[in-house]
Amino acid sequence: MKPVDAAGDFLDVLVTKDQINERLAELAKQIENDYQNKNVLLVGVLKGAVMLMADLSRQLSFSVEMDWMAVSSYGKGTTSSGVVRILKDLDADIANRHVLILEDIVDSGLTLSWLVQNLRARQPASLEVFALLRKPEAIQVHVDVKYVGFDIPPDFVVGYGLDYAEGYRNLDSVATLNPAVYSERP
């Protein structure tokens, strides 16, 4: 069994567990302020937003509902295909609901822009986006992201829900992966 923080696999920890917790607490306050007296439906994008959903929702002092959507993105590679497919749709009808999408990372913006368009067509009362990470240099399509955890450089990252070939999601920080790791496992 390979340790999640195997020495040599990670070039750099970009965002630590403590930094994530601190930033989520700040953004949770902002969300509480923005959604006073409203019922919020958090929509997590599987599987990357699992940790974010668990940690952010527990920082909120009001009760929220949760739903999940799974869309295809990178497969096993490290570049965006731009082709989006729904693998799992929402259980809830979001018409007239206040929906906040939780996304792990915005890279090219292609996935998110598609998702926002798709959900907007279902006529929610409001639709906003929360992204833990954003790579400003990689954005190809503009999407309004109301809540951003951290802007990071355009390197491939893993941890805190983000995977490489389904591994490393359970790393509690966000780290860059040594390119040697993915040249070993095409």
Contact 145, 136 (CB under 8 A): no
Contact 119, 86 (CB under 8 A): no
Size of the site for ligand 5GP (CB under 6 A): 20
What is the closest distance, in whole angstroms, from the C-beta atom of residue 63 to ligand 5GP in the complex?
A: 27
CA gap 82, 85 in Å, rounded: 10
What is the closest distance, in whole angstroms, from the C-beta atom of residue 123 to ligand 5GP in the complex?
A: 24
Site string for ligand 5GP, 96-135 (x = CB under 6 A): -------xxxxxxxxxx-----------------------
Q: Which of 92, 86, 81 is nearest to 70 (CA)?
A: 86
**Contact status: 158 vs ligand 5GP (CB under 6 A):** yes
CA gap 169, 172 in Å, rounded: 8
What is the closest distance, in whole angstroms, from the C-beta atom of residue 134 to ligand 5GP in the complex?
A: 9
What is the closest distance, in whole angstroms, from the C-beta atom of residue 60 to ligand 5GP in the complex?
A: 22
Burial class (CB in 10 A: 0-12, 13-18, 19+), 9: buried
Select 24 or 105, whichever has its Cβ closest to ligand 5GP. Answer: 105
**Is 26 strand, coil or helix?**
helix
Task: Tell me whether strands 86-88 and 65-71 are parallel, antiparallel or unpaired.
Answer: antiparallel
Select 147 or 164, whichever has its Cβ closest to ligand 5GP. Answer: 164
Catalytic positions, written as ranges: 107
Contact positions vs ligand 5GP (CB under 6 A): 48, 73-74, 80, 103-112, 156-158, 162-164
